[in-house]
């Protein structure tokens, strides 16, 4: 069995094989995708967040978030508590158990969606509950007492709570939803979110990117808001929550939303603002002697109190100039200026991410038409000021930054219900997708940041005579060698009719649908033999890993390029050696002894060169061999034609 071969180049049929490189990249958009037959049914929009989740729907033509029974908050803390009596509690009541019963209280489950324990390495300490490490590459499980839960099951419990909430509000059953996910979520994480919906009894009609939903909430791109100066608009969505930061650059044209780039930091948010305040107070008001005699529990309790007070100070300073409070009988204070000095470096980190996103989208800050603020931490005046300064314009912050994504999801649900026909959504793939070719090279078929849905294909051939089977291994990543990328799956195209090397035409198509699910199809065009897979990775990938993969690809660009160059030269040499030997055998009668000896000597020189680590040496011998054998190949061709024409009238 052989891996997929790149087209062969040889002295005899360069033209034919070169023409096997067919590249296509079409973007197909199906306006009707997901549209309902019964538009009167309410489809809800759900923001399934790391810290809080919300459910929204269209009420009298306007999106609204649904409040809890107490009528106070639209936020449902994304926290699940397993009580001693077997009861499952979700939301505010579960949040209260975070301090008293952390082992049975699960938070931040979104961070675990579609991930393996290996993905979490370095962050194990983040979770106060038990994340199971049985096989580092399988999906994580969470142990609560004697039961094991998957992140999908836990997310389903949160979704069920939201379903109950909206059904209470509407007085009717709800079965269809749109759920938002971060733009960087990979196929596996999106699929996990869909599965959670299904488990909660919801038919998830569409997974929508959070920044896209936020833009929709502001009516950006809708027919009622004509495009800025009559052209496409570019939008930056700055999302700073409690624990994560995301920046997305969108382009909206003719009602089409397209994510141009994404960037961010999965461990940066308002919680870090709280932490720097705590550190500042500890340094200013306390010494290590204050804690030397206190036990572990007391220290924990104090830590919890001071953290809550720091959060209160932060929130107060969003409108006040000074905060004054008391903890353990000690007065503490913080001025707006002190706070801004403390969080300055953290805010700067978000701006650096913005610059990276702009660079990826090939834009400058001035090229952004509108900036949308999302997430509770964008209430901090310094954040608003810094972001406005970077983009040189006022930001959109009139809607509640906690609700904006859910409101947009409700609008998207309304679009799918067939009530707003002018809008459709387009997202991008965060990492390149491709297949392994000879020598372990990554051949990218759908590049990173390609618009989805998308369909791209390429043709390949074999490099060995009579090759019957072809293994197609699908990878995700930015490095040149597949060994540095992430394998998504593989399949074998079996039973290719025996043909000389270079003759089979194997068409490989990648189809990435609107939900980011990848279908890979291989077809041998001469025999119509076909095989396909739908990629459902057996384990997930973390955002950190994704960011690392990008960083790695940049840091190793030079060595990767050298390795790729050498492998490609070797592949070319090997193909040439095969076809050269064949050429000698087939044309024994028309070549002189001298010509055979020289060709053989050059082939041997190439065989030796291919063993060396210097691609330039290989290329030089290839050039020599081609130059010497080209007239011989022409002569061989003339003879073949003459033989074929013999006895025929012209
Ligand atoms: P999210 O994850 O989007 O719900 O954001 C939650 C974060 O927003 C937490 O860190 C909160 O402390 C923070 N937050 C909420 N309200 C305010 C406010 N008024 N000023 C500053 N930060 C806030």
With 50 as the cut, is the pLDDT of residue 336 above it?
Answer: yes
CA distance 326 to 614: 70
Query: Is 345 domain-assigned?
Result: no
Q: Per-residue pLDDT tens for 139-169? A: 677 888 877 788 988 999 999 999 999 999 9
Q: Is the pLDDT of residue 501 over 70?
A: yes
Domain end marker among 340, 373, 392 = 340
Same structural domain, 568 and 625:
yes
Is the pLDDT at 221 greater than 80? The verdict is no
Ligand 1 in reach of 272 Cβ (< 6 A)? no
The tokens describing 163, both together, are 């379903």
Task: Give yes or no for residue 87 having a pLDDT over 80.
Answer: yes
Query: What pLDDT band is residue 138 in, cutting at 50, 70 and 90?
Result: low
Residue 377 falls inside a structural domain: no
150 falls within a domain: yes
Res. 12: pLDDT tops 50? no
DSSP code at position 67: P
Please say if 210 is a catalytic residue: yes
Confidence category of residue 133, pLDDT binned at 50, 70, 90:
low
Task: Output 392 or 437, whichever has higher pLDDT.
Answer: 392
Q: Are residues 308 and 176 in the same domain?
A: no
**CA 598 to mean position of chain CA atoms:** 54
Domain match, 587 and 517 both: no
pLDDT on residue 230: 56
Across residues 109-130, what is the average pLDDT? 80
Q: Which residue has the tokens 């809800």?
A: 44
Whether residue 196 is found in the same domain as residue 305: no
Q: How confident is the model at residue 551 (pLDDT cuts 50, 70, 90)?
A: confident
User: Structural domain tally of the chain?
Assistant: 4
Q: Is residue 470's pLDDT more than 80?
A: yes
Do residue 142 and residue 156 come from a single domain?
yes
Nearest CA to ligand 1 atom 18: 315
Lowest mean per-residue pLDDT among 2-11, 168-177, 516-525, 556-565: 2-11
Shortest CA distance to 246 belongs to which of 180, 192, 293?
180
> How many angstroms separate the Cα of 642 from the Cα of each of 17, 120, 414, 446?
24, 69, 71, 46
> In this structure, what are the phi and psi dihedrals at residue 514, rounded to the nearest 5 degrees?
-60, -20
In the predicted model, is pLDDT for residue 435 greater than 60?
Answer: yes
Which of 20-24, 499-503, 602-606 comes out lowest in average pLDDT?
Answer: 20-24
Please count the other Cβ atoms lying within 10 Å of the Cβ belonging to residue 518.
Answer: 23
Is pLDDT at 284 greater than 60 in this prediction? yes
**Residue with token string 């269209």:** 58
pLDDT band at 223 (very low <50, low <70, confident <90, very high): low
Residue at 288 is within a domain:
yes
Q: Which of 198-202, 310-314, 631-635: highest mean pLDDT?
A: 310-314
The overall longest dimension of the chain from CA atoms, in Å, is 113
The domain boundary, picked from 485, 513, 541, lies at 541
Task: Please choose from 377, 399, 405 the residue to mutate so as to test ligand 1's pocket, defined by most ligand atoms within 8 A of CB.
Answer: 377
Is the same domain home to 51 and 143? yes
Higher pLDDT, 21 or 635: 635
Q: Domain for residue 58, yes or no?
A: yes
CA dihedral 297, 303, 308, 311 (to 10 degrees): -160
List the domain range (segments joined by +) for residue 312: 270-340
* Most informative mutation of 246, 270, 340, 343 for ligand 1 (most atoms within 8 A of CB): 270
110 is a catalytic site residue: yes
Q: With 70 as the cut, is the pLDDT of residue 15 above it?
A: no
User: 77: Cβ below 6 Å to ligand 1?
Assistant: no
At what angle are helices 404-416 and 210-217 packed, to 10 degrees? 90
Give the mean model confidence (pLDDT) for residues 177-198: 84
Q: Which of 182, 242, 246 to mutate to test the pocket of ligand 1 (most atoms within 8 A of CB)?
A: 242
Residue-level pLDDT at 324: 97
Full strand arrangement of the beta sheet holding 141-144: 130-132, 141-144, 147-149
For residue 69 the two structure tokens come to 């029974």
Q: Is the CB of 53 under 6 A from ligand 1?
A: no
Of 211, 277, 315, best ligand 1 pocket probe by most atoms within 8 Å of the beta carbon: 315
Residue 47 annotated to the active site: yes
Pair 150, 285 in one domain: no
| Region of 11 on the Ramachandran plot (φ > 0 left; ψ -120 to 50 alpha; else beta) | alpha
Say what the pLDDT of residue 424 is. Answer: 54
Q: Which of 186-190, 211-215, 467-471 is modeled with the greatest confidence? A: 211-215
Res 134: pLDDT: 53
pLDDT of residue 34: 38
Higher pLDDT residue, 490 or 236? Answer: 236
What integer pLDDT is reported at residue 7 of this predicted model? 38
Q: Which two tokens stand for residue 583?
A: 């050429």
Question: Catalytic: which of 119, 161, 195, 239?
Answer: 239
Question: Does some domain include residue 491?
Answer: yes
Residues 321 and 336: their CA atoms lie apart, in Å, by 5
Its pTM stands at 0.64
Among 524, 457, 521, 462, smallest CA distance to 494 is for 524
With 70 as the cut, is the pLDDT of residue 644 above it?
A: yes
Give yes or no: 328 in active site. no
Structure tokens at 205: 């009609």
- Residue the block writes with tokens 């078929």: 445
Q: Where are the alpha helices (DSSP H) in 361-455?
A: 381-391, 404-416
37 three-class SS? coil
Q: 265-274, 348-357, 540-549, 568-577: lowest mean pLDDT where?
A: 540-549
Catalytic residue among 119, 187, 195, 210: 210
Average pLDDT over residues 374-385: 98
Q: Which residue has the higher pLDDT, 104 or 128?
A: 104
Which atom of ligand 1 lies at the shortest distance from residue 401's CA? Answer: 3
Q: Output 43 or 188, whichever has higher pLDDT.
A: 43
CA–CA separation, 231 vs 53, rounded Å?
35
The C-alpha atoms of residue 240 and residue 374 are separated, in whole angstroms, by: 6
Burial class (CB in 10 A: 0-12, 13-18, 19+), 440: middle
443 — phi, psi (to 5°)? -110, 105
Q: How far is the CA of 438 from the centre of ligand 1 (A)?
A: 51
**32-46 confidence digits (pLDDT tens):** 333 334 446 789 999
pLDDT for the residue numbered 647: 62
Distance CA 321, CA 335 (A): 6
Residue 59: count of CB within 10 angstroms of its CB = 13
Strands 454-460 and 506-512, sheet pairing: antiparallel
Q: How far is the CA of 313 from the centre of ligand 1 (A)?
A: 12
**pLDDT for position 91:** 95
- CB 241 less than 6 A from any atom of ligand 1: yes
Q: From residue 351, how far is each of 79, 314, 377, 378 by CA, in Å?
A: 30, 20, 14, 13
Q: Judge whether 250 lies within some domain.
A: no
Identify each DSSP E strand in 254-303 by its residue range: 256-265
N-term to C-term CA, the chain: 46
Q: How far apart are CA 8 and CA 17, in angstroms?
A: 6
Helix 187-199 vs helix 151-170: crossing angle, to nearest 10: 50
> Which CATH number characterizes residue 76's domain?
3.30.420.40
pLDDT value of residue 622: 87
Q: pLDDT category, 187, cuts 50, 70, 90?
A: low
pLDDT at 202: 84
Share above pLDDT 70 across residues of the chain, in percent, rounded to a whole number: 86
Where helices occur in 317-367 by DSSP H, the ranges are 336-360
Domain end: 340, 359, 381, which one? 340
| Residue 282, pLDDT above cutoff 50 | yes
What is the CATH number for 614?
1.20.1270.10
436 lines ligand 1 (CB under 6 A): no
176-181/44-48 β-pairing: parallel
Q: Would 392 be classed as within a structural domain?
A: no
Give the per-residue pLDDT at 637. Answer: 84
The alpha carbon of 368 and the centre of ligand 1 are apart by a number of angstroms equal to 25
**Residue with CA closest to ligand 1 atom 22:** 377
User: By alpha-carbon position, which residue is closest to atom 8 of ligand 1?
Assistant: 376
Report the 10 Å Cβ neighbour count for 334. Answer: 22
Q: Is there a contact between 112 and 142 (Cβ–Cβ < 8 Å)?
A: yes
Give pLDDT, residue 11. Answer: 23
pLDDT-based confidence at 135, cuts 50/70/90?
Answer: very low
Element (H, E) at 15: helix 14-18
Sign of the CA dihedral with 595 first, then 596, 601, and 605 last: positive
Residue 539 has a pLDDT of 44
The pLDDT of residue 26 is 23
CA of 380 from ligand 1 middle (Å) equals 8
For residues 336 and 562, give the distance between their C-alpha atoms in angstroms, rounded to a whole number.
53
Q: Say how many Å lie between the CA of residue 379 and the centre of ligand 1.
A: 7
**Same domain as 81, residue 93:** yes
- Residues 418 and 508 placed together within one structural domain of the fold: no
Q: Are residues 421 and 431 in the same domain?
A: no
Mean pLDDT of the chain: 83
Percent of the chain scoring above 90 in pLDDT = 43
Q: What is the pLDDT of residue 227?
A: 55
pLDDT for the residue 353: 97
Claim to verify: residue 54 and residue 200 sit in the same structural domain: yes
Q: Is the CB of 51 under 6 A from ligand 1?
A: yes
Instruction: Single out the residue of 187, 203, 124, 114 nearest to residue 150, CA to CA.
Output: 114
Q: Which residue has the higher pLDDT, 557 or 499?
A: 499
- In this structure, the answer to whether residues 77 and 181 fall within a common structural domain is yes
Q: What is the mean pLDDT of residues 292-307?
A: 79
Q: Which residue has the tokens 């370095």?
A: 122
Check pLDDT > 70 for residue 28: no
- CA-CA distances (angstroms) from residue 584 to 6, 578, 603, 633? 23, 10, 11, 10
Mean pLDDT of 349-373: 96
Q: What is the pLDDT of residue 464?
A: 81
């Amino acid at each position: 069995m052989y891996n997929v071969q790149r087209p062969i180049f040889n002295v005899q049929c360069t033209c034919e094989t070169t023409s096997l490189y067919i590249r296509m990249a079409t973007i197909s958009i199906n306006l009707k995708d997901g549209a309902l037959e019964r538009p009167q049914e309410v489809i809800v929009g759900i923001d399934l967040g790391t810290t809080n989740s919300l459910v929204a729907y269209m009420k009298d033509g306007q999106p609204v978030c649904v409040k809890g029974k107490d009528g106070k908050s639209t936020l449902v803390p994304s926290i699940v508590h397993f009580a001693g009596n077997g009861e499952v509690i979700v939301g505010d009541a579960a949040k209260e158990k975070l301090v008293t019963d952390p082992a049975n209280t699960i938070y931040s489950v979104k961070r675990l969606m579609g991930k393996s324990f290996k993905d979490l390495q370095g962050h194990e300490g983040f979770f106060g509950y038990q994340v199971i490490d049985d096989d580092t590459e399988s999906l994580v499980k969470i142990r609560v007492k004697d039961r094991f839960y998957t992140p999908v099951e836990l997310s389903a419990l949160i979704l069920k709570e939201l379903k109950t909430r909206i059904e209470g509000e509407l007085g009717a059953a709800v079965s269809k939803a749109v759920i938002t996910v971060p733009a960087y979520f990979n196929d596996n994480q999106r699929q996990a979110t869909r599965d959670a919906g299904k488990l909660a009894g919801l038919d998830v009609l569409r997974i929508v990117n959070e920044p896209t939903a936020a833009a929709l909430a502001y009516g950006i791109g809708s027919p009622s808001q004509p495009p800025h100066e009559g052209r496409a608009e570019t939008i930056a969505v700055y999302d700073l929550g409690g624990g994560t930061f995301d920046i997305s650059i969108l382009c909206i044209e003719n009602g089409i939303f397209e994510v141009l780039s994404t960037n961010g930091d999965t461990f940066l948010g308002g919680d870090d603002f709280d932490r720097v305040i705590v550190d500042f107070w500890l340094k200013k008001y306390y010494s290590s002697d204050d804690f030397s005699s206190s036990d572990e529990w007391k220290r924990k309790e104090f830590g919890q109190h001071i953290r809550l007070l720091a959060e209160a100070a932060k929130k107060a300073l969003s409108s006040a100039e000074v905060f004054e409070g008391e903890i353990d009988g000690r007065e503490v204070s913080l001025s707006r200026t002190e706070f801004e000095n403390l969080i300055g470096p953290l805010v700067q980190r978000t701006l650096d991410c913005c610059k990276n996103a702009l660079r990826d989208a090939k834009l400058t800050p001035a090229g952004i038409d509108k900036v949308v603020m999302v997430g509770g931490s964008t209430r901090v005046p310094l954040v608003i000021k810094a972001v406005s300064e970077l983009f040189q314009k006022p930001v959109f912050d009139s809607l509640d930054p906690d609700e904006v994504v859910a409101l947009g999801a409700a609008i998207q649900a309304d679009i799918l219900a067939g009530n707003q026909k002018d809008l459709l959504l387009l997202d991008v793939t965060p990492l390149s997708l491709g297949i392994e070719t000879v020598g372990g090279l990554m051949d990218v078929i759908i590049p990173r940041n390609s618009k989805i849905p998308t369909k791209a294909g390429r043709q390949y051939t074999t490099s060995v005579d009579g090759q019957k089977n072809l293994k197609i291994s699908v990878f995700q990543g930015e490095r040149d060698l597949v060994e540095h990328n992430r394998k998504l799956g593989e399949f074998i195209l079996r039973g290719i009719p025996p043909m000389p090397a270079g003759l089979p035409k194997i068409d490989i198509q990648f189809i990435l649908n609107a939900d980011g699910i990848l279908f890979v199809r291989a077809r041998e065009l001469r025999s119509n033999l076909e095989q396909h897979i739908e990629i459902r990775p057996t384990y997930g990938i973390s955002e950190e890993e994704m960011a690392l993969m990008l960083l790695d690809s940049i840091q190793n660009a030079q060595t990767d390029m050298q390795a790729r160059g050498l492998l490609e030269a070797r592949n070319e040499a090997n193909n040439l050696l095969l076809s050269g030997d064949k050429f000698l055998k087939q044309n024994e009668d028309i070549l002189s002894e001298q010509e055979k000896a020289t060709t053989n000597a050059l082939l041997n020189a190439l065989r030796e060169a291919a063993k060396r680590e210097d691609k330039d040496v290989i290329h030089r011998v290839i050039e020599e061999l081609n130059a010497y054998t080209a007239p011989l190949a022409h002569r061989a061709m003339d003879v073949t034609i003459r033989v074929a024409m013999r006895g025929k009238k012209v």
